[in-house]
C-alpha cells in the first residue's frame, strides 16, 4: 500500500468529521428505535464509518452513488442532508422521498445518492448504467456501487463486473466486507480468502484494504476514482471492516465466533482516528469536542423537525407510480 497517496491533515480531519457524523447519527437512530418512537427497518453501518468517509473525499456531488439497505453511512458521507434523511426515517412528507421510501430506499440526487436498494447487490447493475451515462456525458463523473461480502456471491455481481470492465466504465465496485452475510460467515460463503481476487477474472484491478484505516482507504479510493475519471476503467475495492450491530438492530450475533465482536469493538475505527488526530496535533480535544457538539446540534434539529412534520396524504398512493398522477 506504500504507493498510495496519503491524506493530508485537513483531509484526515474531514474524514473524521464525516465518520463522527455517521457514528453519532447512527447512535441517535438506534436510541430513537429503542425508545419505541421510531419503528423502522434500519440496518446499522456502525463500525464501517471510515470506508465511505475516506471514499467521499475524492468524490464530487455529481458523482453517482448506488448503495444498499445498510447504506446510511455511505449517504451521510456523500452529503445526504440529515434533515431530509430524518424526516424520511420518520416517514414524513418532508422526507427526501416524501415518506414513501424509508431507510432502504433513501434517495437524494442533488448529493449524488441516486439509488438505495433493499435487494442484496442490486446496486451493482444500476451503477454500471450510471457509469455508462457518465462515460457518454464525458464530464469525468464516476459511479460507485457499494455492497457487502454477501452480495459478492450473487449472479449480478458477475454480470456487472464483467460488463463494466468490458466497456471500461468509470465504476468503483466497493465491497464493504464485514465478514458476515446476514448470519453466515465469509468462510461458509466462499472458498476464497479475498473477494478482490475475483476482479482479476474480469480483467479489472482489484484490491483488498483495511477499510477501517483512513490512510489505506483514502489511498485506494483515490487511485480507483482517478483511474475511472481518466477513462481507464473500473476498480473493485474490498474494504475489510466489521459491523458492530449485527445484521439488524436487536441481533444477538450468536452466529459469530466467541469474542469476535468484542475484539472488533476494541478497535473501533472512529475513536481510533479521533485519538490519532490529537496525537498528531491535527486537532485538540477541545476542537474535536466542539465539532462533535456541533454535529449533535444538527442531528437534534433534524430529529425535532422530522417529528414536527406531517405524514403524507393518502393521495400520494396515486402519485409517482407513473410520471402522471393516477386518476
Partner 1 sequence: MTETTKITMLEAINRALHDAMEADPKVLALGEEVADPEEGGVMGVTKGLSTKFGAERVVSTPISEQAIIGSAIGAAIGGYRPVAEIMLMNFVAVAMDMLTNHAAKLRFMSGGQTAVPMVVRTMTGSGFSTGGQHSDYLEAWFAHTPGMKVVAPSNPTDAYGLLRAAIEDDDPVLFIENIQLYFMPADFTAEKIPLGKARIAREGSDLTIITHSLMVNHAMAVADQMAKDGTEAEVIDLRTISPWDRETVLASVKKTGRALIVHEAVKEFGIGAEIASVINEELFGQLKAPVKRVGGAFCAVPYCKPLESAFAPSADSIGKAALELVA
Interface ranges with partner 1 (CB under 8 A): 64, 66, 95-101, 105, 107-109, 114-115, 117-119, 122, 124-137, 143, 155-156, 159-160, 162-163, 166-167, 319-323
Residue closer to partner 1, measured from CB, 73 or 135: 135
CB 32 within 8 A of CB 38: yes
Residue closer to partner 1, measured from CB, 164 or 273: 164
Closest distance between partner 1 and the C-beta of residue 302, in Å? 17
Residue closer to partner 1, measured from CB, 96 or 235: 96
Residue closer to partner 1, measured from CB, 5 or 118: 118
Closest distance between partner 1 and the C-beta of residue 182, in Å? 17
Print the SS3 string covering the chain: CCCCCCCCHHHHHHHHHHHHHHHHHHHHHHHHHHHCCCCCCCCCCCCCCHHHHHHHCCCCCCCEEEEECCCHHHHHHHCCCHHHHHHHHCCCCCCCCCCCCCHHHCCEHHHCEEEEECCCCCHHHHHHHHHHHHHHHCCCCCEEEEEECHHHHCHHHHHHHHHHHHCCCCEEEEEEECCEECCEEHHHCCCCCCCCHHHHHCCCEEEEEECCCHHHHHHHHHHHHHHHHCCCCCEEEEEECCCCCCCCCCCCCCCCCCCHHHHHHHCCHHHHHHHHHHHCCCCCHHHHHHHHHHHHHHHHHHHHHHHHCCCCCHHHHHCCCCCCCCC
Residue closer to partner 1, measured from CB, 280 or 313: 313
Closest distance between partner 1 and the C-beta of residue 116, in Å? 8
Closest distance between partner 1 and the C-beta of residue 274, in Å? 35
Closest distance between partner 1 and the C-beta of residue 105, in Å? 4
Residue closer to partner 1, measured from CB, 142 or 302: 142
Residue closer to partner 1, measured from CB, 124 or 225: 124
Closest distance between partner 1 and the C-beta of residue 75, in Å? 13
Closest distance between partner 1 and the C-beta of residue 275, in Å? 39
Amino acid at each position: 500500500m506504500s504507493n498510495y497517496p496519503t491524506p493530508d491533515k485537513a483531509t484526515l480531519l474531514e474524514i473524521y468529521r464525516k465518520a463522527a457524523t455517521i457514528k453519532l447519527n447512527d447512535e441517535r437512530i438506534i436510541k430513537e428505535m429503542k425508545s419505541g418512537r421510531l419503528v423502522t427497518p434500519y440496518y446499522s453501518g456502525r463500525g464501517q464509518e471510515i470506508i465511505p468517509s475516506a471514499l467521499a473525499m475524492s468524490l464530487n456531488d455529481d458523482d453517482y452513488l448506488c448503495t444498499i439497505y445498510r447504506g446510511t453511512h455511505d449517504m451521510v458521507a456523500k452529503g445526504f442532508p440529515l434533515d431530509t434523511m430524518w424526516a424520511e426515517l420518520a416517514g414524513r412528507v418532508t422526507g427526501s422521498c416524501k415518506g414513501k421510501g424509508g431507510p432502504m430506499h433513501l434517495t437524494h440526487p442533488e448529493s449524488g445518492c441516486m439509488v438505495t436498494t433493499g435487494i442484496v447487490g442490486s446496486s451493482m447493475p444500476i451503477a454500471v448504467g450510471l457509469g455508462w451515462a457518465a462515460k457518454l456525458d464525458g464530464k469525468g463523473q464516476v459511479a460507485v456501487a457499494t455492497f457487502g461480502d454477501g452480495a459478492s456471491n450473487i449472479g449480478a455481481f458477475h454480470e456487472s463486473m464483467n460488463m463494466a470492465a468490458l466497456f471500461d466504465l468509470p465504476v468503483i465496485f466497493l465491497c464493504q466486507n464485514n465478514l458476515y452475510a446476514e448470519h453466515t460467515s465469509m468462510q461458509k460463503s466462499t472458498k476464497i480468502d479475498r473477494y478482490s481476487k475475483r476482479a482479476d477474472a474480469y480483467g479489472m484491478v482489484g484490491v483488498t484494504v483495511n477499510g477501517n484505516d483512513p490512510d489505506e482507504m483514502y489511498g485506494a479510493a483515490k487511485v480507483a476514482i482517478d483511474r475511472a475519471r481518466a477513462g481507464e476503467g473500473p476498480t473493485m475495492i474490498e474494504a475489510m471492516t466489521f459491523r458492530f450491530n449485527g445484521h439488524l438492530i436487536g441481533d444477538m450475533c450468536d452466529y459469530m465466533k466467541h469474542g469476535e465482536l468484542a475484539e472488533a469493538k476494541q478497535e473501533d475505527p472512529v475513536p481510533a482516528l479521533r485519538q490519532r488526530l490529537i496525537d498528531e496535533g491535527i486537532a485538540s480535544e477541545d476542537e474535536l469536542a466542539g465539532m462533535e457538539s456541533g454535529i449533535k446540534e444538527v442531528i437534534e434539529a433534524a430529529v425535532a423537525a422530522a417529528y414536527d412534520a406531517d405524514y403524507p396524504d393518502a393521495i400520494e398512493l396515486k402519485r409517482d407510480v407513473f410520471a402522471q398522477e393516477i386518476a
